[in-house]
Amino acid sequence: MSNLLVETREVLEDNNKTINDINWVGDGKYYFDVNEFLNIANVKYDNGYGAPEVAQDLLVVGDNWWLERHEYDGSEWWEYKEIPLKPNKKIELKALTVGQAKKLGFNVSIGWENLKRINNINEEDNLERTDK
């Protein structure tokens, strides 16, 4: 068993945030006041395996960050997300799919690849380019 409010506070604390950092709560289409959330979030639920009990589209949103619900086989939890910072390394985009990479002759598997592998980026080559 877990308590939604306690769980929310713990995830916020783990990410150097507090309840005061929350701007709004909702689902992406609708929102409600943070105090409304706090008034009803002090509830126990079974976060173990089975069926998720907390609304799966529930969002807790602050400045440039948010909490979203995740689950695996019914076990559920908050995941903390932040807007990613733009990297300072640029790559030449050649492919976005394994199929495109194979047509270009790149050595890729049948799936589960990342942009670096799909675009045949060798980290050492990339380091050489940025060092020049």
pLDDT (tens digit, 9 = 90+) per residue, 63-76? 999 999 999 988 99
Instruction: Give 116's pLDDT tier (boundaries 50, 70, 90).
Output: very high
Helix (H) or strand (E) holding 123: helix 123-131
* Alpha carbon separation from 12 to 52, 62, 104 (Å, rounded): 21, 10, 45
pLDDT (tens digit, 9 = 90+) per residue, 1-50? 999 999 999 999 999 999 999 999 999 899 999 999 999 999 999 998 88
Please give the Cα distance from 68 to 54 (Å, whole number). Answer: 11
Distance of CA 124 to the CA centre of its chain: 29
The reported pLDDT for the residue numbered 128 is: 44
Q: In the structure encoding, which two tokens stand for residue 54, read together? A: 């907390």
Kindly write down the DSSP assignment for every residue of 19-51, as one continuous string: GGG--EEE-SS-EE-HHHHHHH---EE--SSSS
> For the whole model, what pTM was predicted?
0.75
Please give the Cα distance from 77 to 36 (Å, whole number). Answer: 20
pLDDT over 60 at 101, yes or no:
yes
As beta bridge partners, residue 66 has 61, 81
